[in-house]
Structure 1
Amino acid sequence: MAKEPQELKWIENLLPEGGYRRRGMFGGFGYYVDDKIVLLIFESEGGSRTYKKKTYNFDLWNGCMFPVDHELQEKALQQCPFLVPHPILPKWLYLPLHTENFDDLVEEVITRVFRPNSFWGSIPKPKGKKNSTKKSKSIDDGISVKMDTRRPRMFSDEPAEDVLAKATKISDLKNLGATAEKSFHQAGIKTPKQFFALGWKKTLLKLAAVNKKNLHAIYGYALIGALTNKEFNMITEDEKQQAREFTKAVREAEKAKSKAKPNATVKKKTKKR
């Protein structure tokens, strides 16, 4: 049975909250949006690196896979050359966990996955009757997990100003469900009014202070969308660019700060009396 993700749990925050299903698969989890499987996550640190007598320089089951139909893989690899066909499941493209800049690369791919008319993702072929019994059994055994997709929709189609005026809790807003609301509360943001007053940048910094994994561009998209009553992938390209540049600048500033050497202390000479 698949184990709950730990180190890679944050990647679920990049998916449309309440808009995906999760199912146990190959010891990890597959993530479905509508009819498409768009992502697989595996955690197996120090696992096998060998398949059919060939040894690879990465763990075979420790990272993310991105399904793409075979005829579109070449196009996908042109867009994201850092991906590789998985040695065992070559129809899916793999990003090992210890790839340099793993977090940023995951964000880049998932951003592409949720663009309008995206070719990323794959619709599984329907199984015959022979496999239907087995499928039902796996669901009964708890291997298939349907995420709780319930979230307030009472403001979904209203103008942004009306939504902001009526919202009484964080989860009333577009893109922000129960999980996001919990993170907001941990960051000291209890009400929509506090969120509106802070704006998306200061809010994102507070969320990142609680959990560094919150500092990614797609979370920025979600916050901007919440303030404008738009789905996170439907905000303007300028707004997306602002989110990317802001999160990148903050990460670079943090890296520079961590690398900076402490200033040498200068001893003051005491005057002799």
Structure 2
Amino acid sequence: MPSSVRNSLVWIFDAFERDSTYIAKRMFGADAAYLDGLLCLVASARDEPWNGLLVCTSVERHAALMDELPALRPHPVLGKWLYISQEDPAFETVAEQLTALALARDERLGVEPKPRKSRSKKSALPKA
């Protein structure tokens, strides 16, 4: 994928650069933002339904976030997270509002990442 496409949404995370807890990672061909060790936002510039901003949250928090930011919808594949398509007219405004909420440590944003499984070598079984 050309870097211009890959990085077309990275501007969303510019505001995080001053936060000492910010970590950027690649995740499934998208850019993920972590604050305080929590996965907060994932920006993806691929084909729908992966062309926009995913809001990492719990289903219990969907209603409150959608009330505040009506352009958000449950992601059609990852229904546990909210989503706004880059095609939505409110995309830039909502993205800026979400980064502000994340920086304010809004409790509705962020999920604990699942621990990675170690890639230990297969143990050699003793031969009988």
TM-score range, shorter chain: 0.7 to 0.9
**TM-score normalised by the chain length of structure 1:** 0.39
Pairwise CA RMSD of aligned residues? 2.4
Task: Describe how 1:172-251 pairs up with structure 2 within 5 A.
Answer: none
> Which fold has the larger relative contact order, with Cα–Cα distance below 8 Å and residues 6 or more apart in sequence?
2
Given the alignment of the two structures, is residue 79 of structure 1 paired with residue 65 of structure 2, yes or no? Answer: no
Q: Which amino acid aligns with 2:96?
A: E
The SS at the match of 2:55 is strand
Which structure's residues are more often helix, by fraction?
1
The answer to whether the Cα contact below 8 Å between 2:10 and 2:31 also exists between their aligned partners in 1 is no
Once the two structures are TM-superposed, the CA of residue 112 in structure 1 deviates from its matched residue by 1.7
- Deviation per CA, 1:22-58, whole angstroms, max 9, x where unpaired? 11112112111122111101112xx2xxxxxxxxxxx
- Deviation per CA, 1:144-171, whole angstroms, max 9, x where unpaired? xxxxxxxxxxxxxxxxxxxxxxxxxxxx
Q: Which amino acid aligns with 1:99?
A: D
Specify the alignment match of 2:102 in structure 1. Answer: 113
Identity of aligned residues (%): 27
In 2, Cα distance between equivalents of 1:17 and 1:126: 26
In 2, Cα distance between equivalents of 1:85 and 1:33: 22
User: Which protein shows a greater Rg?
Assistant: 1
Specify the alignment match of 1:132 in structure 2. Answer: 118
In 1, Cα distance between equivalents of 2:106 and 2:42: 21
- Deviation per CA, 1:244-271, whole angstroms, max 9, x where unpaired? xxxxxxxxxxxxxxxxxxxxxxxxxxxx
**TM-score normalised by the chain length of structure 2:** 0.78
Runs of 5+ consecutive residues of structure 2 not aligned to the other structure? 121-128
Which structure's residues are more often strand, by fraction?
2
In 1, Cα distance between equivalents of 2:84 and 2:50: 10
**Alignment match of 1:60 (pick from 45, 49, 56):** 49
Specify the alignment match of 2:16 in structure 1. Answer: 15
Runs of 5+ consecutive residues of structure 1 not aligned to the other structure? 48-58, 135-273
The SS at the match of 1:71 is helix
In 1, Cα distance between equivalents of 2:71 and 2:61: 16
Once the two structures are TM-superposed, the CA of residue 88 in structure 1 deviates from its matched residue by 1.0
The answer to whether the Cα contact below 8 Å between 2:34 and 2:41 also exists between their aligned partners in 1 is yes
Moved over 6 A (4+): none
In 2, Cα distance between equivalents of 1:125 and 1:65: 17
Once the two structures are TM-superposed, the CA of residue 110 in structure 1 deviates from its matched residue by 1.6
Specify the alignment match of 1:261 in structure 2. Answer: none
In 2, Cα distance between equivalents of 1:116 and 1:89: 23
Specify the alignment match of 1:28 in structure 2. Answer: 30
